[in-house]
Copies of this chain bind each other. A is one copy, B any other.
Amino acid sequence: MDLTSLPGFRDFYPEQMALRDHVFTVWREVAGRYGFVEYDGPPLEPLDLYVRKSGEEIVGQLYRFTDQGGREVALRPEMTPSFARMVGARAGGMPKPIRWYSIPQLFRYERPQKGRLREHFQLNLDIVGEAGELSDAEIIAAAIDMLRAFGLSSEEFVARISDRELIGGLLAAHGVAPEAMGAAFAALDKLDRESPEWVCGRLEEAGVSERSARELLGIPELDLPALLGRVGDDPATLEAGERLRRVFDHLESFGLGAFVRFDPSLVRGLAYYTGTVFELWDRRGEFRAICGGGRYDRLLAAVGGPDLPALGFGMGDVVLSELLKARGLVPEQPAAIQDFVICVTDEQRPAALGVVHALRDRGRRVAYDFAGRSVGRQFKAANQVGAERTIVLGPDELSRGEAVVREMSTGEEKSVPLGSILSD
């Protein structure tokens, strides 16, 4: 076979599909406990939907083309624009807050590397129509509970939490003008990857004095009270700090205090966050962020959706699946076959097919031999597919309305009435 799949695209063989199914099942289960309902949009959308949100620069990473009707279209690189359109069409008639989630497959033309492919599935979970900080705690708790439901403990991961408005106030108090705020955030975001000198240089370009820039280098070490002592007296900034404190209080009330940490160096790259931001990281630091999100109160209106406060997060399947594999948290699969029905001679076949079908109707996973092979080879086939038990139909047993049931793990055999097989 000389054709392969495209680079950065995955074939899901049954064992990989089972892991994907496990991830989706847990996501859906936890989203359900939080009262979220699932939606989906098209994987192909008008190109404008994405250009409008992210500007022309995103076009370089899009799978885009002109369709046969002359429309400029793109494979979805993210869910938020479709979400904004859909929620916008319905928001008026729906009780708030709206709690929706989706598990879209997303596409970006990037260089494939560890934890990053050209397609991935991403849980998107959002609350629309609620400005109070209890919803910020709710969304962070939902993200944490997702990982807990996979079997990860507070020793294995942490939610790093900050607030963009608070950090913005801190930067303003250190001399960053509104128009330089984006550059200053971008500089802070590089603190863990670039040298202190490099970050200082960028902050100074954003209007920060050398002394203030040096001071800002120390912010990752600050706790929330210490940081609040340095933000000056701007009321909005102080309120942002209070709000963040209450978010932590609520997370404590949820019993999730061990999973969270204030991290003022967390700003997240995306410009549209307006308040709380957070990311989940494995504590050993072996992987990229597992999940990221926050509050984006102005984004829905900006992309043509409803003017409603909103917040949410995205959690991809690639990093998460790698983490589950590394931590031994991929569950074992149940056997594909429970019952294997065996005919001693071809004469039992009609009865055997009746038994097969009756067992399936009762929800059992059943197989049998298609080819009229010997009893020995049928047992071998039953073993090969991992059947839990065999049900052997021979002429004598069948004439008495019985079959021989063998538990494959123990080898224990007994003759039982067919009726009991079909009703136990």
Q: Contact residues of A with B, CB < 8 Å?
A: 1-7, 9-14, 17-18, 20-21, 29, 32-46, 48-49, 52, 60, 63-69, 71, 73, 75, 82, 85-86, 88-90, 95, 97, 99-100, 105, 107, 109, 119, 130, 132, 134-135, 137-138, 141, 145, 249-250, 252-256, 304-305, 336-337, 349-354, 356-358, 360-361, 363-367, 370-372, 381, 384-385
Contacts and interface: CB of A to CB of B under 8 A. Distances in A.
A11 B352 CA distance: 45
18 contacts: A5-B85, A6-B45, A6-B73, A9-B42, A17-B38, A17-B39, A33-B364, A34-B367, A35-B367, A43-B43, A43-B105, A44-B75, A69-B109, A95-B384, A95-B385, A132-B370, A134-B370, A253-B350
A162 to B, nearest CB: 21
Given A130-B371, A141-B357, A11 B366 contact: no
A356 to B, nearest CB: 7
A78 to B, nearest CB: 15
A337 B41 contact: no
Given A134-B370, A353-B254, A304 B3 contact: yes
B41 A1 contact: no
Contacts of A52: 3
A360 B6 contact: no
B65 A357 contact: no
Nearest to A337: B35
Contact of A46 (B3, B10, B69, B141): B3
Nearest to A136: B370
A249 B350 CA distance: 8
A167 to B, nearest CB: 24
A4 B45 CA distance: 9
Contacts of A14: 37-39, 100
Contacts of A145: 360-361
Q: How many copies does the complex hold?
A: 2
A340 B396 CA distance: 61
Contacts of A336: 32, 35-37, 99
Given A3-B49, A366-B33, A384-B95, A42 B371 contact: no
A328 B254 CA distance: 42
B17 A68 contact: no
A34 to B, nearest CB: 7
A1 B304 contact: yes
Nearest to A256: B357
Contacts of A46: 3-6
A44 B130 contact: no
A365 B63 contact: no
Contacts of A356: 254
A137 B368 CA distance: 13
Nearest to A334: B32
Given A38-B14, A49-B3, A33 B360 contact: yes
A13 B39 contact: yes
A7 B45 CA distance: 10
Given A14-B37, A356-B254, A45 B5 contact: yes
A352 B249 CA distance: 13
A370 B128 CA distance: 12
Which of A40, A49, A385 is the most central at the interface, judged by chain B CB atoms within 10 Å of its CB?
A40
Nearest to A384: B95
B89 A1 contact: yes
A254 B44 contact: no
Contacts of A371: 130, 132, 134
A49 B2 CA distance: 10
List 9 tightest A-B contacts by C-beta distance, closest first.
A65-B65, A9-B42, A253-B353, A253-B350, A14-B37, A12-B40, A33-B360, A35-B367, A254-B357
